[in-house]
Amino acid sequence: MRIIATITFLGLLCSTTVSFGNTARSACISNKFLLTGTFQQTDTASNDTTAIDSANLGKLDALKTQNAVFKKLQSKSNNIDPKKLALFPAVSLQQFLKSDAAGVYVQEQSGEPGSVQSYFIHGTSQPLISAREQFQTQPLVILDGVPLTGDHPFALDIQQFKFERIGPATNPLSMINMDNILSVEVLKDLAATAIYGPKAVNGAIVLTSKQAGVKREIFFDSYVGMAQKNSVTTINGKFENDFRRQFYDKYTANGKYSENDVYPLYLSDSLNNAYYGPSNWNDEYYRNGLDYSVNAGISGGTNRANFRFSLGSLRNEGIADDTGLDRYSTRFTINMKPLTWLTFTATVNANRLDRQRNRNVRDRLAQVNYIPDLSSPIAPSKEKYGQYLAEFDKGFDDNRSNLVQGLANVGVDLGKFKFNSSFGVDYNEGYRDIFFARTLLQTTNYASNYYGYNQRSFFDNVATYDLEVNEDSRFNFTLGSSFQYDAYKYNYAYAYKGSNDFIKLNLLRSDPGNQATYLEPFVFNRFLVYKFLDKTRNNLISFNAKVDYDFKDKYTISAHLRADGASSQQPTSRWFYSPILSAGWNLKKEFFTESATISDLNLRASAGRMGRHEHFDNYAQGPQYTAFIGFTGNLIAPGYNGFATLTRPYSSGSIGYNLEWAYSDQLNLGLDGAFFNNRVRGSVDVYYKGDKNQLLGIPSGSEYGYSNIIQNGMDIVNTGVDLVLSADILQSTSSVRWTSTINANFNRNELTALPGGLSEIAIGDRLLKVGSSVDSYFLLSNNGIYNSDAEVPTVGGKKLSYNGIDLKGGDPKWADINGDNIIDNKDKTLQGHSMPIVAGGFNNDFGIGNWNIGVNFYYNLGRDLMNQEMANRFDFINREGLNDMSSVREITFWEKRGDYSKYPLYNPWSSVAPYQVNQDIFLEDASFLKLRTLSLGYDFTKSIKKTVKNMERFYVYTSVNNVFTLTKYTGQDPELVNYTGYDTGYGIPMPRTYILGVKMEF
How large is the average pLDDT for residues 775-780? 96
How large is the average pLDDT for residues 101-124? 93
Number of H helices, E strands in the chain: 15, 48
On the question of pLDDT at 633 being above 60, the answer is: no
Which residue type occupies 218? I
With contact defined as beta carbons under 8 Å apart, do 215 and 22 qualify? yes
On the question of pLDDT at 295 being above 50, the answer is: yes
With contact defined as beta carbons under 8 Å apart, do 314 and 289 qualify? no
Distances (CA, A) of 630 to 56, 637, 646: 57, 5, 7
With contact defined as beta carbons under 8 Å apart, do 494 and 158 qualify? no
Tell me the per-residue pLDDT of 264-288, one tens digit each, with 9 for 90 and over: 889 988 999 999 999 999 999 999 9
Vertex 926, ends 925 and 930: CA angle to 5°?
A: 140
Q: Cα(159)–Cα(369) distance, rounded to whole angstroms?
A: 9
Residue 654 pLDDT: 80
User: Which carries the bigger pLDDT value, residue 653 or residue 953?
Assistant: 953
Q: Cα(422)–Cα(145) distance, rounded to whole angstroms?
A: 9
> Sign of dihedral through CA atoms 75, 76, 77, 81?
positive
Per DSSP, 920 falls in state G
How large is the average pLDDT for residues 322-335? 96
Q: Cα(511)–Cα(520) distance, rounded to whole angstroms?
A: 7
Q: Cα(518)–Cα(493) distance, rounded to whole angstroms?
A: 10
pLDDT bin (cut points 50, 70, 90) of residue 1 is: very low
Residue 59 pLDDT: 36
On the question of pLDDT at 21 being above 80, the answer is: no
Spell out the residues 6+ positions from residue 460 whose beta carbon is closer than 8 angstroms to its own: 61, 62, 63, 64, 421, 422, 423, 424, 480, 481, 482, 483
pLDDT bin (cut points 50, 70, 90) of residue 70 is: low
Tell me the per-residue pLDDT of 414-445, one tens digit each, with 9 for 90 and over: 999 999 999 999 999 999 999 999 998 888 89
On the question of pLDDT at 14 being above 70, the answer is: no
On the question of pLDDT at 11 being above 50, the answer is: no
What percentage of the chain exceeds 70 in pLDDT?
87
Q: Cα(428)–Cα(446) distance, rounded to whole angstroms?
A: 27
How large is the average pLDDT for residues 480-493? 94
pLDDT bin (cut points 50, 70, 90) of residue 126 is: very high
- Buried residues in 606-620 as b, exposed as e (16+ CB within 10 A): bbbbbbbbbbbbbeb
- Could you give the maximum distance between any two Cα atoms of the chain, in Å? 106
Residue 54 pLDDT: 38
Q: Cα(113)–Cα(255) distance, rounded to whole angstroms?
A: 46
Q: Cα(885)–Cα(872) distance, rounded to whole angstroms?
A: 12
Vertex 789, ends 784 and 795: CA angle to 5°?
A: 90
Tell me the per-residue pLDDT of 686-731, one tens digit each, with 9 for 90 and over: 999 999 999 998 887 666 667 788 899 999 999 999 999 999 998 8
* Predicted structure pTM score: 0.89
Would you put residue 997 in left (φ > 0), alpha (ψ -120 to 50) or beta? beta
Tell me the per-residue pLDDT of 335-390, one tens digit each, with 9 for 90 and over: 999 998 999 999 999 999 999 999 999 999 999 988 888 888 999 999 999 999 99
Using DSSP bridges, classify how beta strands 508-510 and 598-612 pair: parallel, antiparallel or unpaired.
Answer: unpaired
Residue 442 pLDDT: 84
On the question of pLDDT at 889 being above 70, the answer is: yes
Residue 635 pLDDT: 57
On the question of pLDDT at 40 being above 50, the answer is: no
On the question of pLDDT at 548 being above 90, the answer is: yes
Query: Among the listed ranges 621-625, 825-829, 876-880, which one has the minimum average pLDDT value?
Result: 621-625
pLDDT bin (cut points 50, 70, 90) of residue 294 is: very high
Q: What is the DSSP string of 68-123?
A: HHHHHTS-GGGEE-HHHHTTS--SSHHHHHTTTSTTEEEE----STT---EEEESS
Distances (CA, A) of 43 to 16, 27, 103, 487: 17, 22, 47, 51
Burial of 92 (0-12, 13-18, 19+ CB in 10 A): buried
On the question of pLDDT at 661 being above 60, the answer is: yes
How large is the average pLDDT for residues 23-49? 32
H or E element at residue 335:
strand 324-339
Residue 950 pLDDT: 83
H or E element at residue 364:
helix 361-368
Burial of 575 (0-12, 13-18, 19+ CB in 10 A): middle
R_g of the chain computed on alpha carbons: 30
Q: What is the DSSP string of 531-563?
A: EEEEEEEEEEEEEEEEEEEEETTTEEEEEEEEE
Residue count (the chain): 1002
On the question of pLDDT at 38 being above 70, the answer is: no
Q: What is the DSSP string of 176-211?
A: --GGGEEEEEEE-SHHHHGGGGGGGTT-EEEEEE--
- Buried residues in 436-460 as b, exposed as e (16+ CB within 10 A): bbbbbbeebbbbbbbbbbbbbbbeb
Distance, CA of 426 to chain centre: 18
Q: Cα(438)–Cα(445) distance, rounded to whole angstroms?
A: 4
On the question of pLDDT at 139 being above 50, the answer is: yes
Query: Which residue from 576, 548, 581 is spatially nearest to 563, judged by alpha carbons?
Result: 576
Q: Cα(995)–Cα(87) distance, rounded to whole angstroms?
A: 9
Distances (CA, A) of 534 to 169, 403, 427, 846: 17, 20, 17, 54
Q: Please state the φ and ψ torsions of residue 680, each to the nearest 5 degrees.
A: -120, 130
With contact defined as beta carbons under 8 Å apart, do 599 and 570 qualify? no
With contact defined as beta carbons under 8 Å apart, do 665 and 609 qualify? yes
On the question of pLDDT at 26 being above 80, the answer is: no
Query: Among the listed ranges 91-100, 386-395, 467-476, 518-527, which one has the minimum average pLDDT value?
Result: 518-527
H or E element at residue 688:
strand 680-699
Residue 983 pLDDT: 94
